Structures are given as C-alpha cells and as structure tokens.
Amino acid sequence: MSYSKLFENATEGDSSGPIVGHLPEWVQGTLIYNGPVGQWEFEKENARHWFDGMAILQSFQIDQSKKLVFLKKRFLQSDAYQKAKANGKLIITEYGTPSASDPDKNVMSRLVSSIIPGEMTDNCACSIYKLGGLYVAATETSLLRIVDPVSLATGDKIDMSSLVNIASGRPITDHNGDVYNISGTFLTGIKYHILKFPASDSQNPKEILSSAQTVATLPSRMKTYFSYYHSFGMSENYFVFIEQPWVANSMKLISSKIKGISFFNCLEWMPEECNQFHVIERSTGNRLDLTFKSRKPFFFLNHINTFEDDCGNLVVDLLTYDSPDILHQMSLEKLKSGKFEIKDESRIQRYVLPLAGGSTSNYGTALASQEGDITWLTPHAVVPETGCEHPSLNPQVRGRKYKFAYVIGWINSVNRGFFANAITKVNMDTGESTSWKEEEFCHPAEAMFLPRPVSSEEGRSTSDEDDGIIMASVTDVRADHKDFVVFLDARNMSEVARCKFDDTIAFASHASFYKN
C-alpha cells in the first residue's frame, strides 16, 4: 500500500460535510490542527525532513444548527513560507534542511546568524495555543505567529528573543489560565529557563512579552551541549524538566550556516549520559536538592502527564524510545519510498520520583534506588504494546492524578502495529486499553478530548474523567475514499458521529480546540 498521500504537498481550500450520526448538542467549537503538513516540494529544491514542511493550518468548525462541519485550510504566511515560495526552495534553515549562506553577509555575520533568533525560522509548524488574548502558532525557536482562529489568517510575528533564544512549541496552560513554557539561552552560557505568561486578555504583543516572568533557571550539565526538548512536565506544585542525552553541539551550531548543515545535523546521541530529572518548586522556582537519573538512557518527545500522589511521590508519565532513531527515519526520502523502519518503538512509561518520604510500592515495576546522592529510576511499562504517540487527556486532569490517556499510531501506523490506524484509550493504572480502529488505509491525527459540560442539576461527579467526546481528523490514503473527522464516546470509544469531506485532509500533527 502506498502511503505517499500522507507526505504530499497540501492545498488551501474551503469545504463542508454533513454530520452523520448522533453528536451531542453541547459539542460546539472549532478543532484546529497545525503541524509539518503543508509543503515539502518546491520548484528548485525539496525539503529533506518531515518536520520541515511549511505549515498549513486546518480548522473544523462544528455547526450543530446546520448539522455541518466546515473545513478550512490556510498556509501560515510566515517569512519562511513567503521566501520559499518566491525562490522555489527553502531560504531559511529548517530542522533538517539547511539553507544556502546569504551572500550579502560577511563571515562574522554568518557565524553569529546561526544563533540570532531573528535569523531563525518562523515556520511555526508545531502547535497553536492562546497567549494572553491572542492565538499564536509556535515552533521551537523564539518566534511566534499570531493567527485568527476563525479565518486562519496570519498576523504579525512575535519575537521573544528579548527573553530567550529558543522555546518549546508545547507550552502548558494551567487551570488559572497562566501559560508556562520551557526555553533556553546560549549567549552567556547554556541555560534552561521556565517562562510564565500570566493569564490576561491583552492582545498587545509588547504587553504580553513585558508581563513574562522567568520563574526558574537551570545551567546545562554539559558546558558545550544543550539537551533537546519538545515538552516538559508540570504538576500542581512542581515542574519537571528532563535533560536527555539527545543533545545539540553548540560548536557545530555556531558554524552550521557556513558549513551548510541543519539543526538536525548538530544533534548527537550520548547514551552514556543518562536522563536527569530536574524537579522545581512552582512557588519558589527553586530546584529540589535531589538528583534523579534514569537507569537506562532514553529519548522522548512528549510528556503525557505529571502529578503528585498521596504517598509523597511525583509521577511522571512519558512516551519514550531507546534512541532517537525515529527522527532519522523521518526523512522524506524514506517516508515517500515506504522505507520507514523504526529500530525501536515508543513505550508508555511511568517514572515515579520519591520526594521526601515517598514510596514507589504502588506502581508495579517502577523502582527508585538510592546510591550515594543519586536516586536511580527504573520505569514501569504501563502497557506491553509499543508504537504510539501524540498523547492527550481530559484537560481538567492536567497536572493532577488521572486515569486515562488517549494515543494514536502516528507515523507508526504504516508499520501495522498494535496502535496502528487507531485511537486508543489507555488506563494508566491497570494498563487496560480500548481502541476505535479503522482500516489500515486510515490514519488518525492527534485526538482531542472535549469534556461534557457539568450541570448542577445532573449532579455529575468530577470523578467522571472519561465523560466526554474524542475528536480527530482521519486521512485515508486511498484515492477513491474521502477523509473525515470522527467523534467518539470516550467512555467506551464507540463512534457516535463522523463527517466526510470532498476535499483532502492533510495528515496533521498537534491539535487545539476552541469553543465558539
């Protein structure tokens, strides 16, 4: 079976489709996807890596009064996209695709430009989130792009370089509306920072940036390397930042433009450096004087959730890999030719960090052993099956004790594993899993959980964690079949409705949901 449709250039468009089934009336709003799904192929030169696609935003507006879902697709009008479109190739360096050196710059300018945020890409192809009163698209540089969630029009660029050099595209919004993110600076030593943007309704970028607070700073444990991060953990009282052994060589990075190499080429795997878990108090920004390290090295992209239990433990749930091999396999040449062969697949792992007086006895095989000043961590494998990604959960339990996570097969779906072509609900306590699964030709994107509104008349308990609707776009690689959005009852993962479209849906990455 050819999976080339998943990696073809996308197109803009507007269409609609009828809601078939019985979708609860309270399901109202807009599901928006972002991700490296837009354009990889250009007139003169193509992008090399899946992450390097020019971002296209896709929204699914649910209109219950008309029993329709309206699909809208718009390219993010970033500087990176505009220059690539005008020149027939990538002009600004992306994750895995280098650009040519600018002939108008001298040698010193080229050396410095590789770490100047203004020279970084604004191809914000990772996520969309609310920052103050604005909606912004993000990537893993210090640049954001304002986005209109209704029209998907691209607004001004927001440059956070006065605060940090890079920031993750996976911030966390707490239950008060404050936005936190993990970030880094390089110019005065390699440091990691946790930023806080207090909740506000401001739509003034300068006001939003001036309100930002650096709540914690950590030096890198390696002087000339910094750990790659895509996400971090946050409970009600703690942040968790994991320094992993997939690291960027700052010396390579400085000379990358002159040598014509990408950020991906500056990354190195150092398995002798086990992962270190840094635990930081949210109230003070102080790092706990406890050293937690993993027994074995691992690579990861996504945290699932982090919470404090009743026994003095901090529980950190992750999707982990034995190595970063998956990123090497995601070159477009391999993906389009069907040569996607992962050497190690992701695992749902639970790490339990005993804080003062904590015990790990209630978490299966999760262990923590003390050797001198180091607490060595061995994870508990929540399920035996491997090969899932893009975890989501009921937003009401983010940072709190919870039971259910929802995952998809993602790129692994081409390998026909357990999670392939499915949206799977995992009981994080028991390992029991329940899936909605379509044919092998259908590929769900990240699933979103929409909780059913609480009504005082119903007397609904807050313990009804899985009382809601799961939504996801699904791309069908068969030429004669339509792509669709599916709606599931999260309690039993049964399908309650779907909506098919005549237009195609690009195989997307991260999603957000906004109520009308």
pLDDT in tens, 387-424: 999 999 999 999 999 999 999 998 776 667 899 999 99
Detail the residues annotated as belonging to a binding site for Fe cation.
230, 510
What is the 3-class SS of 462-475, one letter each residue? CCCCCCEEEEEEEE
Give the number of residues written for the chain: 516
pLDDT at 460 over 90: no
Distance CA 149, CA 134 (A): 9
The stretch 19-23 carries a mean pLDDT of: 98
In this structure, are residues 249 and 261 in contact, taking their beta carbons and an 8 Å threshold?
no
Alpha carbons 478 and 206: distance in angstroms, whole number: 47
By DSSP bridging, strand 291-294 and strand 276-281 are antiparallel
Binding residues: 230, 510
Beta bridge partner(s), residue 214: 195
Burial (Cβ within 10 Å: 0-12, 13-18, ≥19) of residue 344: middle
**Structure tokens that stand for 419 in this block:** 């999670």
The three-state secondary structure class of 207 is helix
Residue pLDDT, tens place only, 462-496: 559 999 999 999 999 998 999 999 999 999 999 99
**pTM for the complete prediction?**
0.94
What is the model's pLDDT at position 361?
A: 72
H-helix or E-strand containing 319?
A: strand 313-321
pLDDT at residue number 413: 66
Mean pLDDT of 248-275: 88
φ, ψ for residue 430 (rounded to 5)?
A: -105, -20
In 3D, which of 165, 175, 148, 126 has the Cα closest to residue 74?
148
The answer to whether 380 touches 442, Cβ cutoff 8 Å, is no
Domain boundaries, the chain: 4-386
Residue 104 pLDDT? 40
| Angle at alpha carbon of residue 330, lines to 325 and 334, rounded to 5° | 110
Please give the torsion angle defined by the CA atoms of residues 416, 3, 470 and 15, in that order, rounded to the nearest 10 degrees. Answer: -160
The candidate with the shortest Cα–Cα distance to 178, out of 150, 158, 208, 203, is: 208
Kindly state the average pLDDT of the residues 30-53: 94
- What whole-number distance in Å separates Cα of residue 254 and Cα of residue 174? 36
